[in-house]
Chain A
Amino acid sequence: MVHLVIDGKGFQAEEGQNVLEVALENGIEIPHLCYHEQLSPYGGCRLCLVEITRGARTFLSTSCTYPCLEGLVVRTDTPDVLRARRLVLELLMPLAPEAPRLQALARQMGVTETRFASDEEVDDCIRCGLCIRACAELVGAEAITFSGRGERRKVEPPFGEEALNCIGCGACVFLCPTGCLHMEDQDGVRTLDKWKRTLSLKACASCGRRYLPFAQIEFARQKGEDPPAEGWFEFCPDCR
């Protein structure tokens, strides 16, 4: 256990826990888009910047990637922090101008406009990598990845073609903070447009609704560590 101070209040934390986790657990709100408690922190969106004082040094750092250390003093609301966060948001907004969560954050933080222009083609992706980490760590499918570097960086399946490892679970769609990923079920086929993936769906034995990709069932069987009960996939969640 280590002791640290966040916004003037003392807290205890496990060593190795990150600052953002501890703050959120204790009801201290720090804006964040690319952090998820079940996934490894990445520090991609830069919104969770806080001011950290360690010994004689004070600096800004992303709280999701900063480990709790004995005697750490963290401030989440200094003018410096707020100004830095506003700039970060201004930089993110041109990437996803329509995203509701970004707009809500902008209202909250008093950002009315951005000084930065959008590219001609906007894909609404802020390159936070949440989908990639969910796919690799939570699902274990490893269907998508970052490619390129700098301004050419984007999220895509290998070679920019159909994501052959994608099982159509939709974890990436669910977690995407900007809603730039889409999943659609139509005529027994699930389509994830950005991963160029189409998957055939299995029908529920009771109501006949085609609800689950065969690939996902096969993946669950092969993974094996927590095998589903026999016949579990025969019925959709509504009929189980």
Chain B
Amino acid sequence: MGKQAIERIVEKYGSDHADVLEMLIDIQEKEHYLSRETLQYLSERLAVPLTRLYHMATFYEALSLKRRGRHQIHVCMGTACHVRGAARILEQLERCLSIKSGEVTPDLQFGLATVNCVGTCALGPVVSVDGEYHGHMSASKVERMLKRYSETEANGVAVCQK
């Protein structure tokens, strides 16, 4: 992320170091990760020790030092979803995207991760994409769901052919 883009976010919060977590979340949303350069720049700009930013970036699930996908997929592995076949859905997603949980597709379009409960057990098994919940998921619905999020038709076809 360029310095100007970071600067816009910093100024949105009045350059107040108390709002640094909000800034990190905004940057994460735009960039899908927090680069080392970003943290170093913020640290100098706001006079917040780099240790503290690193602490936050590794503590909060919403923040990531590793690149995530433009569409971040979370498969709920909670008890209710688990007994209804969350493992099979995860497997199908891994197969379709040719990545393992915790990884990102080479084109950075999709990132895959598991969560332990999203709190909507009645809808289980649940998969959330970009914070949007897909309830009553099944392995056979995975492909259609991915297509909906694919940015271009070409990508949409590419998905699930591997």
* Interface contact A145-B55, CB-CB below 8 Å: yes
Q: Which residue of A lies closest to B49 (CB)?
A: A142
Within 8 A of A (CB), among B42-65: 49-55, 58-59, 65
Give Cα distance in the complex from A158 to B58, angstroms.
Answer: 10
Check if A73 is an interface residue, CB within 8 A of chain B: no
7 contacts between A and B (CB under 8 A): A143-B51, A148-B58, A149-B59, A158-B39, A158-B53, A159-B65, A165-B50
* Interface contact B36-A145, CB-CB below 8 Å: no
Shortest Cβ gap from B136 to chain A (Å):
30
Check if A144 is an interface residue, CB within 8 A of chain B: yes
* Interface contact B36-A159, CB-CB below 8 Å: yes
1/0 per residue, CB under 8 A from A, across B1-35: the answer is 00000000000000000000000000000000000
Shortest Cβ gap from A107 to chain B (Å):
35
Query: B-contacting residues of A (Cβ < 8 Å)?
Result: 132, 136, 142-149, 157-159, 165
* Interface contact A147-B58, CB-CB below 8 Å: yes
Q: Which residue of B lies closest to A164 (CB)?
A: B50
* Interface contact A136-B55, CB-CB below 8 Å: no
Q: How many A-B residue pairs have CB under 8 A?
A: 35
Q: Which residue of B lies closest to A161 (CB)?
A: B36
* Interface contact A148-B36, CB-CB below 8 Å: no
Give Cα distance in the complex from A159 to B65, angstroms.
Answer: 9
* Interface contact A147-B54, CB-CB below 8 Å: yes
Query: A-contacting residues of B (Cβ < 8 Å)?
Result: 36, 39, 49-55, 58-59, 65
* Interface contact B49-A136, CB-CB below 8 Å: yes
Give Cα distance in the complex from A117 to B86, angstroms.
Answer: 31
Q: Which residue of A lies closest to B55 (CB)?
A: A145
* Interface contact A148-B59, CB-CB below 8 Å: yes
- Could you say which residues of chain A place their CB within 8 Å of the CB of B54? 145, 147, 158-159
Q: A136-B51, A159-B54 are in contact. List 18 more A-B contacts (CB 8 A).
A: A132-B51, A136-B49, A142-B51, A143-B51, A145-B51, A145-B52, A145-B54, A145-B55, A146-B59, A147-B58, A147-B59, A148-B59, A149-B58, A149-B59, A157-B51, A158-B39, A158-B51, A158-B53
- Could you say which residues of chain A place their CB within 8 Å of the CB of B58? 147-149
Q: Which residue of A lies closest to B50 (CB)?
A: A158
Shortest Cβ gap from A222 to chain B (Å):
14
Give Cα distance in the complex from A136 to B65, angstroms.
Answer: 23
Shortest Cβ gap from A223 to chain B (Å):
15
Give Cα distance in the complex from A194 to B39, angstroms.
Answer: 22
Q: Which residue of A lies closest to B54 (CB)?
A: A158
Q: Which residue of B lies closest to A148 (CB)?
A: B58
* Interface contact A147-B49, CB-CB below 8 Å: no
- Could you say which residues of chain A place their CB within 8 Å of the CB of B59? 146-149
Q: Which 3 A-B pairs have the closest CB atoms?
A: A145-B51, A142-B49, A158-B54
